[in-house]
Amino acid sequence: MDKTLNRFIADYLWSEKISDMPLWKRYLVHVARYAYVVLDDLAKGELTLRAMSLVYTTLLSLVPMLAVSFSVLKAFGMHNKQLEPIMLQFLAPMGEQGIEITAKIIGFIDNVKIGVLGTFGIALLFYTAISLIQKIETTFNYIWRLEEARSLGRRFADYGSVMLIGPLLVFSAIGLSASVLSGSVVKSASEHLPFVEVLISSLTAAAPYLMIIAAFTFFYMFIPNTRVTFRAGMIAGVVSGVLFQSLGWGFGSVVVSASDSGTYAIYSGFAIMILFMMWMYISWLILLVGSSVAFYVQHPEYVVPTRRSGDMNIDQQEELALQVMAVLGRRYYEGRRPMTAGEYVIRLRVQIQGVMRVIKSLTHAGLITPNGDDPPRYLPNAPLETVSLKQVVDAVRSEGGRLRVGFKVPRRKVPGVAEVSAHIDKVMADALGHITVKDLALSEDGSVSELLTGSNRPPVGEAGKAESAKTAE
């Protein structure tokens, strides 16, 4: 069993006594469970390791990415100096050092002349910029238990559009909000209605926080290669925004304020770079923690003290594959709408990673197929009247194939193993080869037991004949 952060706390948070508590206490325990699993993930060290990796990638890709992003602004008459307020806000916890770093980064961006780089230089600049977002996506996909990343074409299309159009939309929104708040209508209303003036001052003070929350929410909804609900992204954005402001205040009060006697005394001229890397690490860690929060909000089936990896043994995969095919078949024969992977999670009370693994196996075996919806819904890809349960089990067992190691000398067979394997296949074919997915999907209590025992065995169909012929061979 996986190790957990604290066994006593976990036993209390997931004890059966919670159901007897008042509603407000149950809600607090519910929130505490989310905090526990996120802290447990942090304690395991994978998130901190990936945050450090992103710091290194950021140092290499920050200037090219900003140069590509804000090159569009120059075409609309905007200068890189308009990037300065956003950079200063991000580096505010570093105090005066943040102002110096902001000036250097903007100076680097001003020195990047895209028009004189040439085709190869522009391509390299775009690749360096996109590689940072690709690294972020890989980390987010790990947190979201996703095995497939965006294709190369989708990366350039999605990331390129964000880098080129995103800054324009951000600055347009900032300019529009500023013009609205300083407009004549708002000014005249604030003169006659005192609460309007209070509201405007409150919105002006809250604008930086709202911008940070909106930026985090956008990251959580766009970067993972899956559909993230607005609720999950918004909750994670609020949590990350609060953490960013709180830890930023602590970093500026404790680390930066003590740098004259501490960091500067040790690193001298390199202290600014050390402080910048420390704050970058904290910022990336906050972003990854928020992504973990978004994942658990959208997939509460993972909010358990242990076993959050989604791994399943072969017996569990076989059982889940039969359940998926039975539910899919019943809905097909009843004329109901096919289900998505997320709906199978809710229906079968299992983790999304196990469902996706089984669906992938069944799809590769040609038993089911996704439709064109987003997210896709899964339909039968073969007549369920002829697909035997043995084929369903084989689809899971054969996924990935057997690893062949190339040696010059052929491997020696282990006596008896081939006979045992053949016997297992024969027994399974005799037991499941004559039962189809339709039989399982439309079965009632006890009917499948009769088919398994042979008391109500139907004539062997095409699937059963094929399995029997295969066994005889």
Rounded to an integer, the average pLDDT of 418-442 is 88
376 vs 80, more confident: 376
Residue 366, pLDDT above cutoff 90: yes
The band of 259, judged by pLDDT with boundaries at 50, 70 and 90, is low
Using the Cα atoms of residue 254, residue 255, residue 259 and residue 265 in order, give the sign of their dihedral. positive
Q: Are 64 and 129 in contact (CB under 8 A)?
A: yes
Asked if residue 471 has pLDDT above 70, the reply is no
Q: Cα–Cα distance between 217 and 230 in angstroms, integer?
A: 8
Q: What percent of the chain has pLDDT over 90?
A: 23
What is the per-residue pLDDT for 177? Answer: 56
Question: In the predicted model, is pLDDT for residue 143 greater than 70?
Answer: yes
Which tokens is 396 given? 């899971």
Confidence of residue 288 (pLDDT cuts 50, 70, 90): very high
For 179-225, what is each residue's pLDDT tens digit? 555 555 555 655 555 665 666 666 666 777 788 888 889 889 888 88
d(CA 353, CA 342): 10
Res. 418: pLDDT tops 90:
no
What mean pLDDT is predicted for residues 32-41?
Answer: 92
Return the DSSP state at 224: S
- Domains identified in the chain and CATH numbers: 45-302 (no CATH), 314-400+415-472 (1.10.10.10)
* Candidate from 42-46, 266-270, 356-360 with smallest mean pLDDT: 266-270
Query: pTM for the whole thing?
Result: 0.75
Query: How many residues does the structure list for the chain?
Result: 473
pLDDT tier for residue 349 given thresholds of 50, 70 and 90: confident
Residues 412, 415, 418: CA angle, nearest 5 degrees: 95
Burial profile 94-125: b = 16 or more Cβ within 10 angstroms, e = fewer: bbebbeebbeebbeebeebeeeeeeeeeeeeb
Residue 178 pLDDT class (50, 70, 90 cuts) = low
* Average pLDDT value for residue range 247-276: 67
Q: Is the torsion defined by CA of 444, 447, 452, 453 positive or negative?
A: positive
Model confidence over 41-75: pLDDT tens digits?
898 888 999 999 999 888 888 777 777 766 666 66
Q: Residue 335: helix, strand or coil by DSSP?
A: coil
For residue 432, the model assigns a pLDDT of 87
